[in-house]
């Protein structure tokens, strides 16, 4: 009796605490800025708990996604029904419509708030997800019972077809739950690609059945460096570190990402960055008689041997492993690394030198190209195309390979001029493992200075390419997050926010719509509250630290 009374009493109190009617967030706060917003000053659509989500059959998973996101954000629990003649009636709807007539571009959507309904039109998963993200930005970030969304018509599509964020899970590994959260961060910002850096000198993070020692040995390092790798003397934490994602976990992530319109690019980094591999299988190294450790420090390039030897066992290994991984990931592109392959270990190795002679290769750069083309061939047999870091251009390479350029404009121009499609990922300003302030007390980063305005003002297409009408070779850009000095989820968030939000506008919005002052206004009114809603950390001093400091 008493408990029933308390229950009724608390329910009454709770419903008083939930505002009955709340106005929507301003359409001027949508980030990244849409292509076209037409405000129709006439009326509004009221969405309360009695409204229905109605979806065309292509968008069932996105209807569930909207339902879940809306409920978490506002407490409104709307039922979702397929768009069939016998669907239950409601006075207001959020309609998810498949439309390949008015929607004439990939990843495009329109969002119309008018009459009794909110209608999102798209012809692909990406477009629908982005329309949903925009709509969610029109709802308040708090529990409500009813929202009035002012009439509006939004037409929106991306400036670039490749919009990526990378995460290194080798130097530090993050649980599947966080990988999903990271994918949610990407989807909110209308990115479409998650580049998953899965192997490196310090570990192997994906389950492989054909070479089990990759998981029993390569996935684990004895200990980890403390502080910066240039500190003297080097100190280590004495704690074994490692792990790997099982195939089931990877499939779970793939499914999660696909509902959100995110493609995943897995990276297996060869023929350098292979110290963890040769620790398990020394016969693949230039010194098969050596016992290698899985690296415990950072910055191995030219300092410690981490390259594969060109021998039959190595190519057998590459073919088997790349095919096994290719079977897991359903996407068109596969990243084979190719960065920072030190040539000195090949120079010092008679077997590598003999291989170069026997195969009429020019030199060690030619050998690097040989590795890339072998792997590209294995993957082509699986219907995949390859992406590599720009160093793979050092030799002559077939132009079907997509280049991910972490150098500057110069390397991007070279790659495009040679007829390669290019993803721009220049260290300056798109390495988010670099500092975002010059405050000596800022959290440890690798080096560099990439403040928020430098990211916001980044233009992916070099002027020289535009002048020569080669700009279409630049398909987009990506920020990289190497995690040598990023050991926690909170630090990941601190390093990416708000720089990732700035990059989203570079990649999505028309260049002429960009405005840094307005962007900072939106950060304060809408985006920082969103980070807070996510309980995500972010770097707060972006006003103070600018490129001219």
- Smaller CB distance to ligand TNX: residue 340 or 411? 340
Question: 283 catalytic, yes or no?
Answer: no
**Residue 14: CA count within 13 A, CB half-sphere:** 8
- Smaller CB distance to ligand TNX: residue 29 or 484? 484
| Among 502, 477, 499, residue whose Cα is nearest residue 404 | 477
Interaction mask 276-315, ligand TNX, x per CB under 6 A: ----------------------------------------
Listed in sequence order, the DSSP H helices in 21-156 are 60-74, 125-138
CA distance readout (Å), 236 to 107, 295, 321: 47, 12, 32
Token look-up 């009636």 returns: 89
Non-local CB neighbours of 518 within 8 Å, separated by 6+ positions:
none
| Among 412, 414, 431, residue whose Cα is nearest residue 422 | 412
Q: Are 326 and 384 in contact (CB under 8 A)?
A: yes
Beta bridge partners of 149: 45
Note whether 270 binds ligand TNX by CB under 6 A.
no
Q: Binding-site residue total for ligand TNX (CB under 6 A)?
A: 9
How far is residue 228's CA from residue 233's CA, in Å, rounded to a whole number? Answer: 10
Task: Find the shortest distance in angstroms from Cβ 195 to ligand TNX.
Answer: 11
How far is residue 341's CA from residue 366's CA, in Å, rounded to a whole number? Answer: 12
How far is residue 117's CA from residue 129's CA, in Å, rounded to a whole number? Answer: 18
| Among 210, 195, 123, residue whose Cα is nearest residue 162 | 195
- Smaller CB distance to ligand TNX: residue 389 or 473? 389
Task: Find the shortest distance in angstroms from Cβ 120 to ligand TNX.
Answer: 38
Task: Find the shortest distance in angstroms from Cβ 170 to ligand TNX.
Answer: 9
How far is residue 186's CA from residue 528's CA, in Å, rounded to a whole number? Answer: 16
Task: Find the shortest distance in angstroms from Cβ 234 to ligand TNX.
Answer: 17
Task: Find the shortest distance in angstroms from Cβ 35 to ligand TNX.
Answer: 32
Note whether 394 binds ligand TNX by CB under 6 A.
no
- Smaller CB distance to ligand TNX: residue 124 or 340? 340
User: Among 431, 435, 456, 519, which residue sits at the site for ligand TNX (rule: CB under 6 A)?
Assistant: 431
82, two tokens: 């397929």
The catalytically annotated residue of 107, 267, 340, 364 is 340
User: Among 389, 497, 519, 538, which residue sits at the site for ligand TNX (rule: CB under 6 A)?
Assistant: 389
User: Among 340, 349, 411, 493, which residue sits at the site for ligand TNX (rule: CB under 6 A)?
Assistant: 340
Note whether 406 binds ligand TNX by CB under 6 A.
yes
Q: Which residues of 462-488 are buried (b: 16+ CB within 10 A; e: fewer)?
A: beebeeeebeebbebbbbbbbbbbbbe
Note whether 482 binds ligand TNX by CB under 6 A.
yes
How far is residue 98's CA from residue 80's CA, in Å, rounded to a whole number? Answer: 16
- Smaller CB distance to ligand TNX: residue 269 or 349? 269
User: Among 364, 433, 453, 493, which residue sits at the site for ligand TNX (rule: CB under 6 A)?
Assistant: 433
Note whether 339 binds ligand TNX by CB under 6 A.
yes
Non-local CB neighbours of 12 within 8 Å, separated by 6+ positions:
none
Task: Find the shortest distance in angstroms from Cβ 143 to ligand TNX.
Answer: 42
- Smaller CB distance to ligand TNX: residue 103 or 397? 397
Note whether 435 binds ligand TNX by CB under 6 A.
no
Note whether 446 binds ligand TNX by CB under 6 A.
yes
Note whether 502 binds ligand TNX by CB under 6 A.
no
Task: Find the shortest distance in angstroms from Cβ 391 to ligand TNX.
Answer: 8
- Smaller CB distance to ligand TNX: residue 58 or 297? 297
| Among 127, 246, 261, residue whose Cα is nearest residue 187 | 261
Q: Which residues are catalytic?
A: 340
> What residue ranges bind ligand TNX (CB under 6 A)?
339-340, 389, 406, 431, 433, 446, 482, 484
């Amino acid at each position: 009796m008493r408990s029933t009374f308390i229950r009724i009493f608390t329910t009454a109190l709770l419903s008083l605490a939930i505002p009955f009617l709340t106005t929507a967030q301003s359409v001027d706060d949508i980030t990244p800025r849409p292509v076209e917003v037409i405000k129709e000053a006439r009326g509004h659509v009221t969405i309360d708990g009695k409204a229905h989500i109605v979806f065309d059959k292509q968008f069932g998973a996105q209807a569930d996604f909207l339902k879940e996101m809306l409920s978490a954000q506002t407490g409104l629990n709307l039922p979702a029904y397929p768009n069939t003649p016998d669907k239950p009636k409601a006075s207001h709807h959020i309609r998810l419509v498949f439309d390949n007539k008015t929607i004439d571009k990939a990843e495009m959507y329109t969002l119309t708030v008018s009459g009794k309904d909110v209608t999102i039109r798209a012809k692909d998963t990406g477009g629908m997800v982005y329309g949903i993200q925009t709509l969610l930005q029109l709802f308040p970030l708090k529990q409500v019972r009813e929202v009035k969304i002012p009439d509006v018509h939004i037409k929106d599509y991306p400036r670039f077809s490749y919009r990526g964020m990378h995460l290194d899970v080798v130097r530090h590994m993050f649980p599947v739950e966080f990988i999903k959260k990271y994918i949610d961060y990407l989807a909110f910002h209308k990115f479409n690609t998650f580049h998953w850096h899965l192997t490196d000198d310090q570990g192997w993070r994906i389950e492989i059945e054909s070479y089990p020692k990759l998981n029993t040995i390569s996935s684990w390092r004895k200990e980890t460096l403390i502080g910066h790798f240039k500190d003297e003397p080097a100190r280590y934490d004495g704690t074994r570190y490692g792990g790997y994602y099982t195939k089931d976990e990877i499939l779970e992530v793939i499914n999660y990402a696909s509902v959100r319109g995110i493609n995943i690019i897995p990276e297996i980094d060869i023929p350098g960055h292979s110290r963890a591999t040769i620790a398990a299988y020394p016969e693949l190294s230039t010194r098969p008689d050596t016992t290698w450790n899985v690296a415990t420090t950072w910055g191995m390039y030219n300092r410690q041997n981490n390259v594969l030897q060109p021998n039959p066992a190595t190519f057998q290994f590459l073919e088997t492993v790349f095919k096994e991984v290719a079977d897991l990931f359903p996407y068109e592109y596969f990243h084979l690394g190719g960065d920072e392959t030190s040539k000195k270990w090949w120079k010092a190795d008679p077997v590598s030198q003999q291989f170069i002679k026997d195969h009429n290769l020019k030199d060690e750069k030619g050998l690097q190209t040989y590795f890339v083309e072998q792997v590209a061939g294995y993957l082509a047999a699986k219907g995949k195309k390859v992406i590599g870091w720009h160093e793979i251009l050092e030799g002559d390479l077939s132009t079907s390979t997509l280049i991910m350029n972490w150098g500057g404009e110069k390397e991007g121009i070279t790659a495009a001029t040679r007829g390669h499609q290019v993803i721009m990922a220049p260290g300056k300003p798109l390495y988010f493992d670099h500092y975002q302030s010059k405050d000596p007390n800022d959290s440890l980063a690798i080096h560099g200075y990439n403040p928020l305005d430098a990211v916001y003002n980044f233009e992916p297409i070099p002027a020289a390419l535009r002048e020569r009408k080669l700009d279409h070779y630049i398909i987009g850009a990506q920020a990289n997050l190497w995690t040598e000095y990023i050991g926690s989820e909170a630090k990941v968030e601190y390093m990416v926010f708000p720089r990732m939000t700035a990059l989203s506008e570079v990649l999505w919005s028309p260049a002429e719509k960009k405005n840094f002052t307005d962007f900072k206004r939106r950060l304060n009114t809408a985006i920082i509250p969103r980070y807070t809603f996510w309980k995500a950390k972010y770097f707060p001093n972006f006003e103070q630290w600018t490129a001219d400091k």
